[in-house]
A and B are shown apart, each in its own frame.
Chain A
Amino acid sequence: MTFIGSIKFAIDLLAVLLLALGIKGLSKVRSAREANRLAAIAMILAAFGVLMNSQGTIGIPINSWVWIICGTLIGGLLGAFTAKKVPMTAMPEIVALFNGCGGMSSLLVALGVALFPSSDGSDGLVSELIRNLSIVVSLFVGAITFSGSIVAMAKLQGWLSTPSWTQSKARHFFNILCAVIALIGGIYLAIDGQNGLFLIVVASSLLGIGVTLPIGGADMPVVISLLNSYSGVAAASAGFVVGSQLLIVAGAMVGAAGLILTQVMCDGMNRSLVSVLFGGALGANTVTSGGGGGEYTNITSCSPEECALTLEAAERVVIVPGYGLAVAQAQHTLREVTRVLENADIEVTYAIHPVAGRMPGHMNVLLAEADVPYEQLKEMDVINPEFPATDVVLVLGANDVVNPQAKNDKSSPLYGMPVLDVQEARTVFVVKRGMSAGYSGIKNDLFDLQNTSMVFGDAKKVLGDLLLELKELGVGSKG
């Protein structure tokens, strides 16, 4: 091994070590931020290692440098810009977008090597058959990751709805057909190294779309996590294509860790991976599924003033924050309201559904921002038995996660989803902008119940009015 070769080897080892420590650290609250930086440093080291070839960086032609710098600047700047500008509420979409681009990158590498076989960069390290097989895997997984992630993003953004055919058996037929075509293309390509290339790319892209399109918004984080795992697999197979062990080990690590994270998320949402992938969207077709449809018959609406009067008389209040609260940026106003209530010796807790916000953990971020004490955040299993002893529940911009249909109505598409049993409380106030349905597109039986009152309006405005009313009533002034 030459001197530079040894240095390069040492850099690679260090990069792998830092990446492993980074992934490990990211799963603990205390070390997460440092771990993220560690992983970033590892990536810089790894890139540096690749740029040092046998004669050091001098060995790379000028012309290659130009293209490296172009790609780096454009991709890097766009990435940095996107990361800074994106609102916290759009986090699921943006992770999907980034992930899709990673898949696309692996796909393009495999495409380049397949189109121009002389420049595979592996220097004859692997036999032709193995190289072709690696290309096939890269193309297949890369294309699924890309198209699946983009569809996931478009659905979360509301650019794409769920077409009804994807909820029927037809989609299984479509997906199996795509998989078979991709397999045939793969066999072709593995044998002769040229034919079948575009067959795989097109068929696997369609497969990615066909698998992701039927999945509803509430389950989408699980899918994104799974696709994240796939992009690790795509990176590992790209490692076989260009002959880089560093890439193989890093890709394998992310792929496996992503799989575990997907499982953990499924457990948190009480859904199985199989039902997420093959069960179809929750309530995407309310009409055909029988349950969930129908008009509201018994809506009681009330003003913030009435709401304040009820709150004044309460002893235990539970807040159920949801996506609407996040969108209205009302977490700070909410905190002021709860401070007033606490001053009046009213016990206030927050019920956090596993998917509150739009992804697991999303709501915790937003409430942390508003300085809500961590001990007041209660998870679903802890808070559910406490609802019967609760005087007032304030539902702020949450919908599907408080729908009693999930427990009572077997024909409902929501049936089986874990929900917060807010209807057990004595009085429920639902702050909502209008009567529109939630993510699932399903009617919420909670709104029709006797003990539920709707307070219509933007969460921030309603909370602001509520705060004024409470102060006028002299709640919490200790006088």
Chain B
Amino acid sequence: MDNRQKEINNLKDYKYGFSTDIENIQAPKGLNEDVIKFISNIKKEPVWMLEFRLKAFERFKVLKEPDWQKPKFPKIDYQNLYYYSAPKSMKDKPKSLDELDPKLLETYKKLGIPLQEQARLNGIAVDAVFDSVSVATTFKDELTKQGIIFCPISEAIQNHPELVKKYLGSVIPTSDHFFATLNSAVFTDGSFVYIPEGVRCPMELSTYFRINASNTGQFERTLIIADKGSYVSYLEGCTAPMRDENQLHAANVELIALDDAEIKYSTVQNWYPGDKDGKGGIYNFVTKRGLCKGKNSKISWTQVETGSAITWKYPSCILKGDNSVGEFYSIAITNNHQKADTGTKMIHLGKNTKSKIISKGISAGSSDMTYRGLVDISSKAKNSNNYTQCDSLLMGNKCGAHTVPYIKNKNSESNIAHEATTSKISEEQLHYCQQRGLNPEEAVGLIVNGFCKEVLQQLPMEFAVEAQKLVGISLEGSVG
């Protein structure tokens, strides 16, 4: 009960005074119980939610930052961060596209993103031409008709506490690893999706359509529940570079698939990777985990990782239900000084479970890429199957590509197959393309796209086109 408490109390008063401008409030720097209470309070959360956060924080206090990963980074001072920082006020935002970095605009042009979208992506005040609110609401009506719940998680905590209470933390418990626990304690917002029994979601859900979606903080929390026999495809991320100042991005994503349900989760991540000398950029330490809870359920992860200074994530599937299926398709591209340590975990618990891992890693410049994965078939997972393929492509002799798979087979009736190769783009391939009129950069883009095709095919149509272009752009300057 010191000055800080007083400060917070003042802030609370402030909040009530200017309720319309609530989003300008920033929590005091640092991490302690008061800050967590502050976040919970500002979100008007029920008591159980606050307890959830505090429990996680208790656990966080005894945890140590892990250090086994390949990319090393300077120690993060967790007391020197803001854990609740609402969107910047309109004043700080660029007023028109003219004020934007011309380089950024050039990238947009290459990606073929329409002008309005460009504006929206940068949080420029929405004008009459592009009414995102109405667009969003049209979709919302359609979804509500089917009984689908799709809203920010803070809203879901208010309106659907029974669902959130039941499933939040059921896949990533508050007692999980360091960053996941930190997220459990301080998460600010994220998406919540519930697909009722037997419903096939009529469209690809995406943060793109969600109002209030932009500028969600660095600690996002996403919870997707697919009830019996339902299907949903969820797209995450944005296909244009985000000039985000945040250094640490520690999100948690939980997927739960009940009997016969299917969840398809696609990510195209292109956060700010830092400059050419490796200064700045996002640390993308995300925990993504899916639970195939019911029988015949399926979870499929697709990711295209081209951004971030350090990407450190392992989207995983826990195949608990009998006959459940887990899939992981990944493209990770690192250039300049970027580093990635990514892969997946497939944990087979149920009978007749199947999993498939296709990972493509491309490293260029002075970057470093690691595929790290676990396939664990438990003794009860009779008749299970796994197939893993991870290929790496190296461009230049300053970069590194590593493969660290952990393979555990405890069941004699199950099969695991793992293959990995490392190679480079051959002179012949380049020569062949250039002979036919492509410049070296285009040729590399073409060859790399061919290398990644198996994964790109898994992306929803609109995403695939953009991702393909992104692959080319990420490798710019890595040839010659």
A binds B: no
B interface with A by C-beta (< 8 Å): none
A interface with B by C-beta (< 8 Å): none
